[in-house]
Amino acid sequence: MMARHNPLPVLVWTILGALGLGIIALALVGLDPSSLGSLIAERLGEQVYAFEHLVLTGDYLELEIQHGHIVPVLRSGQEVGGTIVLGKGSYLLQLPDEAGRRFRELTGLTTFEDGFQALYLPLDYQGLEDLKALACARQVEDGEVLARAAAILRHNLADPNLLRLYGVVRRFWTGPTSLGRLHGYGYPEVFYSEGETVRVLVPCLGTGGDFQLPRLSADPGVFAAPRHAPLVLPVTFGVFAISALLFLAVAYALTADLEGVWRHPPARLRLQLAVVAGMAMVEVLGRVLARRPGLWGEGLLYLGLAGLTLLHARREGWRPDYLGFTTRNLGRAALAGGILGTLMVLGGALALPDGLRPGGLLGVAALAGGTFLGSGLFPQIYYRGLIHNTLDRMAGGAAAVAATAWFAGLARASAGLLAGTPPTAAFWAETLLAVPVAFLVTGYLFQRTRNLMAPATAMWLLAFLPQALSF
């Protein structure tokens, strides 16, 4: 049991420290604003534009589309970030010299051509207007086209250079899926862009399918490569370290007068360690399988892990309040989790929301319920009820908070590598910085309140707010 103390002096210094850390973080970002990447909050526009015939040409690419539709892609408010073109199309890629010879060796074909059903182009507003004018497109109403375009847009989230910072997606240097992308038949995806060089990437051909070609013209037109900031690791490490200290200071300020009271029940330590190790392997394998579309989602994975945790707790005779199911400090736990979850999302976006994303009241309610269970409650039953409590029993509260945070990050890193995710700098920054910081803060909240509502609420908001709000 923790001894009572006067929290006022520590609270005052905590508030002053939080203000100081905030100023340092702003100064650090101010030295290099691009070091935090660009906010990617992509969604479809509500307009659909139909056309009869469209021909686009680049240095090496010529494509033709019949009876198609153009759907704008918006990001960061109403800013145009790209467009999706749907229709019956075909394309021809003329690879010169060495690139052509390598293509023939890989495929046995002399001509690089295919049909396609969708095209993604990372255009700005003027590029979209030029494309509509070139196609002589007219606005129409077509919900089926919007549904098909939404499925194509989801492919953008596979970019290995995206960093999910407290639930908010930011993009750094240009990765393959931020280029122009053709969704074809013989070649499922072909990426094409014209920047300082022309890049053609054909993932299904393996490592040999990445072609770097010289530019032939000065104007890249609709195939221009987008520009994104590089990931500056020293600045990123500094910002994450400061944000961790800042959020921990806020967590203490919100819970300064609380006492986390608990007593570890008797346990068979070897059995408990074996259970932790076994469930950790289940988590990693489950996260690998959850990355494959149509199999299952992370919510179902953590439902299973939470169920196994509760079953183990019942067999060992643990009381519900030991897992965090208690009315003690309930209101403060929910308030602290809500405030910290909101602050972390706003810190990741570096912007205030400008409205709700389309979906209607029922859609928002379903999203809120699903993310609370799948991203908030179920994972925290497993992480706090089993992992955190086991480590607390063995090494104490501070070690449990830190070790559980690293445990969560390493589980995601291991699953990503096993699933074949490219180990980019953004991947490591997310799994070994962003995820541990989020779990560090929520673990500290759990240690202060001993109520599962605090970490569950914070993690729920990290999943819910970026999907419900537009920035």
**Whole-angstrom Cα distance, residue 321 to residue 225?**
55
SS3 1: coil
Please give the mean pLDDT across all residues of the chain. 83
Contact call for residues 62 and 55 (beta carbons, < 8 A): yes
User: Which residue has tokens 């660009």?
Assistant: 38
User: Which residue has tokens 């959020």?
Assistant: 247
Residue 211 CA to its chain's centroid (Å): 28
Residue 88 CA to its chain's centroid (Å): 32
**Whole-angstrom Cα distance, residue 384 to residue 389?**
6
Per residue in 283-292, pLDDT tens? Answer: 998 888 876 5
pLDDT value, residue 249: 81
Q: Whole-prediction pTM value?
A: 0.79
Q: Of 390, 389, 382, 380, give the one whose Cα is nearest residue 441.
A: 380
C-alpha triplet 14, 16, 21: angle, nearest 5°: 90
Q: b/e string for 347-374 if b means 16 or more Cβ within 10 A?
A: bbbeeebeeebeeeeeebeebbeebbbb
**Whole-angstrom Cα distance, residue 217 to residue 206?**
28
Q: What are the DSSP calls for 441-465, one per residue?
A: HHHHHHHHH--THHHHHHHHHHHHH
Q: Kind and range of the H or E element at 379?
A: helix 378-382
| pLDDT bracket for residue 337 (50, 70, 90) | very high
Please tell me which residue, 169 or 144, carries the higher pLDDT value.
144
pLDDT value, residue 1: 43
Q: What are the DSSP calls for 209-255, one per residue?
A: GEEEE----S--GGGBPP------HHHHHHHHHHHHHHHHHHHHHHH
**Residue 114, strand partner residues:** 91
pLDDT value, residue 293: 42
Please tell me which residue, 349 or 146, carries the higher pLDDT value.
146
Question: Max CA-CA distance within the chain?
Answer: 80
pLDDT value, residue 220: 64
Q: Is 352 left (phi over 0), alpha (psi -120 to 50) or beta?
A: beta
List of residues 6+ apart from 311 with CB closer than 8 A = none
Is residue 25 over pLDDT 80? no
Per residue in 161-215, pLDDT tens? Answer: 677 778 787 776 545 545 688 999 999 989 888 877 888 888 888 878 888 888 8
Is residue 256 over pLDDT 90? no
Is residue 51 over pLDDT 50? yes
Is residue 335 over pLDDT 90? yes
Print the SS3 string covering 10-42: HHHHHHHHHHHHHHHHHHHHHHCHHHHCEECCC
SS3 138: strand
pLDDT value, residue 27: 65
pLDDT value, residue 92: 93
pLDDT value, residue 2: 45
